[in-house]
Structure 1
């Protein structure tokens, strides 16, 4: 059986909200198509069109899929592109009906015409499909189809993924029982096994620097999101809550930067209600930023981007986790759990519902927190299992196709469940567990296959169809 090599930087990707599968994935696919165009001669391009299928069509407007593919065709990098320039750039393209393809060739391009939403058509491999078409002045035409399979992962139709970007890892892992085997055999923790595997791609110093960069983006997203008020874009008129909650909890305590803010949070104590409110605040902040087309980290998806940062920031603020080694330990452990779910089930809500997003992120955070709090490997896996067990069957039913209702609040629930799962595992004997992590991964996949398509990011069922008419027409 093919072994899939997944790095911590595959699970955690820096990008732009609001969706890893509907924004970041199509963006990356468009940039790949630009590279194909270059091999055929970008100077001779006459026109480009984009066809969106399935879930990308049905919820693409709310998720900014059209924006993502256009910026990708302009060869902008989602990691570095100034998010404040998204709206001005899109307005410019729409008004001029021109695009600078690949930053090299100006072509006629009308977003209202050249990005086609095929609401009633789906392709067989995956619900998130996009086809790019390019015509040249000499009459030649090329086309490529990509599938955005969740978490920003993209595969091209017909591409041999069995050999691409694969490396031989010292500790190959497809299932949690294999992870447990390697930990037992070597005496290493989960995070240490992950770090050894990361050496297959780069040296430890580079990995540590990259993981800390991931944390910095998460941290900055939390801080930024707790200080911005107003309403979220998209027409639902959802009011941002993190900033108001932040102000209420701090009771006018002064601060001028992140470190002073963190000290102010800690000075409030650690009683249950106070801590609970802060975890919710951290998660709200990230996903309000995500809904605003801001810079976030897939963890493992954008729709669930608030869970891992919220739990990690809880650990930093309330559990003496404000140390580089501990932050790296947390994120490495979390990434391995996400990798196991990606290999054994899915990270795509369009394939598995919200259990594939919030459920997986909660499982990742639970295991990571457990290791950082001194839990054994088996307790970490137990925590991951508990967190997912209580997300099984969770539907993805975004109101108006936006990653706002119920998505933002679901991140607070996922974070709280992760902390609870960790505490349960730390106070339990894994010998007495009756459900393994591998069993719950299998169950999640079976549930995904059984789930009605209406509940898989189509906005055709659940809350998306049981809301006031005025909202559904947004």
Structure 2
């Protein structure tokens, strides 16, 4: 069972991969199951039930919007975020939802989209159930899904198949690995860098040309998100009235370029800007790259933009190396721990993104495979225990600034590793295991429920 680069990096919309992208994917899957069984035309009514973290912070994370859009037939990678408000208004005005864009069913949010606060399904904190109803209001088809982080979705049947990594593809790759030790051993045995190994494995999924085009599209989307975030002004939606800050910071940096000559840490301001721009876009529900989640979507683009703009001799080849290396590290976390804040706290999002970015930057700066592992380990080791306690359930405070912290920490981790020999006391495998154990020990109120931490100690309005 193998993961692809494009499993870790997906193009979607904000503000959350687990609460927005995942539920939209789940709704798409439910529609697909109805179509495959020839049942879609028989649907007269429909109910969606949200449980656990999806219920507790679903409104702040736009889960209701994602479910409605998914049932309408929209997909995360293709939906035009600008059209969403109009579609939602039409559903509210008419009390009708066009299921898959073709079958009209009665739909009132209060009656058909139900938030089960304080209730969880057994397999994961992010659970949802869809029910198709006939003309008598009787359920004739239903299924349960789990949004397990990063836009990955498992059906109830898949989640029950314990011991199998059903988020991975059955494709057989030439250089399989399941942990850091096997990854480094495969690379050493075949004389490959981590990026070369991952890119060789990608050939089992698609042609080399398609992989290159896909990587270029990922970076183009990240870069565009930075640009749009730097241009945007106003206040973020959701009720906290958080002003956008990236535009002001961008204008200050452009108006005073000589500051960079006096203050060598000005580059840090640019990294902060890139991360802030992306996550303000994410908070506004715009198009972002899940990297590996939406809540942490600014870390990797910010560090990659730092490489692209500030590192001498940066290149498109280096960008591909960066993304492939980051993906390899992300695969290790996805397989052996979690990238879901609802399961392990924000260490599974910002922590993982920081680890991925640190290893990737180390790679493009000339680090060896062992130094890359060291950088990734440092990136996570100093994010252990990071909680997820968003104020008002919105992916804004502390999430936006937290991305800037993760990006700067990743740069520092890469530089620390490059100053070393690659030998280090704590392995990446050990820190991944520790992160997972820490997340399991963490109280639920610190895992994307908005019932602890900053969410209860800060006035939300």
TM range (shorter): over 0.9
Aligned to 2:363: 371
2:433 maps to which of 426, 429, 442: 442
| 1:129–1:147 Cα contact (<8 Å) kept | yes
Aligned to 1:289: 281
* CA distance, structure 1, for counterparts of residue 126 and residue 165 of structure 2: 21
| 2:5–2:328 Cα contact (<8 Å) kept | yes
Aligned to 1:451: 442
Distance 1:380 1:270, change over 3 A: farther
* CA distance, structure 2, for counterparts of residue 270 and residue 430 of structure 1: 33
Aligned to 2:26: 29
| Deviation of the 1:136 alpha carbon | 2.4
| 1:24–1:152 Cα contact (<8 Å) kept | yes
Query: How many residues are treated as equivalent by the alignment?
Result: 454
Aligned to 2:87: 89
- For 1:313-356, what per-residue CA distance to the aligned partner results, in whole angstroms no more than 9, with x for missing partners? 00001003642111111000000100101111000000000000
Distance 1:327 1:91, change over 3 A: same
- For 1:387-437, what per-residue CA distance to the aligned partner results, in whole angstroms no more than 9, with x for missing partners? 100000000000000000000000000000000000000001222x11010
1:143 paired with 2:142, answer: yes
2:111 maps to which of 101, 110, 113: 113
**5 Å matches for 1:323-334?**
323-334=315-326
| Deviation of the 1:271 alpha carbon | 4.9
Aligned to 2:253: 249
| 1:270–1:318 Cα contact (<8 Å) kept | no
Aligned to 1:262: none
Aligned to 2:219: 215
Aligned to 1:257: none
1:192 paired with 2:196, answer: yes
* CA distance, structure 1, for counterparts of residue 359 and residue 39 of structure 2: 49
Aligned to 1:10: 7
| 2:276–2:403 Cα contact (<8 Å) kept | yes
* CA distance, structure 2, for counterparts of residue 269 and residue 389 of structure 1: 33
Distance 1:194 1:269, change over 3 A: farther
| Deviation of the 1:274 alpha carbon | 1.3
**Which aligned runs of 4 or more in structure 1 are off by greater than 6 angstroms?**
none
Aligned to 2:395: 403
Normalised to the residue count of structure 1, the TM-score between the two structures is: 0.93
Aligned to 2:187: 183
* CA distance, structure 2, for counterparts of residue 248 and residue 266 of structure 1: 11
Normalised to the residue count of structure 2, the TM-score between the two structures is: 0.96
* CA distance, structure 1, for counterparts of residue 81 and residue 314 of structure 2: 28
| 2:274–2:305 Cα contact (<8 Å) kept | yes
- Cα root mean square deviation, aligned: 1.6
* CA distance, structure 2, for counterparts of residue 319 and residue 424 of structure 1: 17
Aligned to 1:259: none
Gapped runs of 5+ residues in structure 2? Answer: none
* CA distance, structure 1, for counterparts of residue 273 and residue 209 of structure 2: 33
Distance 1:95 1:183, change over 3 A: same
Distance 1:49 1:421, change over 3 A: same
Distance 1:203 1:384, change over 3 A: same
| 1:266–1:318 Cα contact (<8 Å) kept | no
| 2:131–2:139 Cα contact (<8 Å) kept | no
Aligned to 1:256: none
* CA distance, structure 1, for counterparts of residue 391 and residue 38 of structure 2: 42
| Deviation of the 1:267 alpha carbon | 11
* CA distance, structure 2, for counterparts of residue 321 and residue 365 of structure 1: 19
* CA distance, structure 2, for counterparts of residue 429 and residue 200 of structure 1: 33
* CA distance, structure 1, for counterparts of residue 27 and residue 20 of structure 2: 11
